[in-house]
Structure 1
Amino acid sequence: MKPRPGEVIGGGWIVLRRGDDTGRIRPSFMTFEHPTREAAEAEAARLAASRPGYRFDVLGVLASQMVAA
């Protein structure tokens, strides 16, 4: 699937909601990758304002590993 408007595949910043009862991270099927930390923080703030009582966390890629095939 091609990137959505404003998305950067490999951007490294995602926003995830915490579960109501468990507090566990609830990823979506097609997680949106933000190009910058600031963009992800703005989206988390927008989502939190539109959904009172829900917690949204910003997560970033700290390391990545890949073995050539």
Structure 2
Amino acid sequence: MELQFITLNDVRGVLNISAAQAYSLVRSGELRAIRVGGRGQWRVELTELNAYIDRAYRAAEAAIVDETATT
């Protein structure tokens, strides 16, 4: 069975960010996640992480275009 959900610690590793930054992405709604279990552990679906990464690439590309247009 293929892995569908990962922990925020896994997100942190994939994006090479701190645990606080990973939690902030979820808390802000930039990265969709669900809470599971009695302790409410956060889990991120891999498709959601990939969608976040795609959005981040598009935002970076738009910023580069904007910078180029204003120089």
TM-score by length of 1: 0.30
Structure holding more helix per residue:
2
Higher relative contact order, chain-length normalized (CA < 8 Å, sep 6+): 1
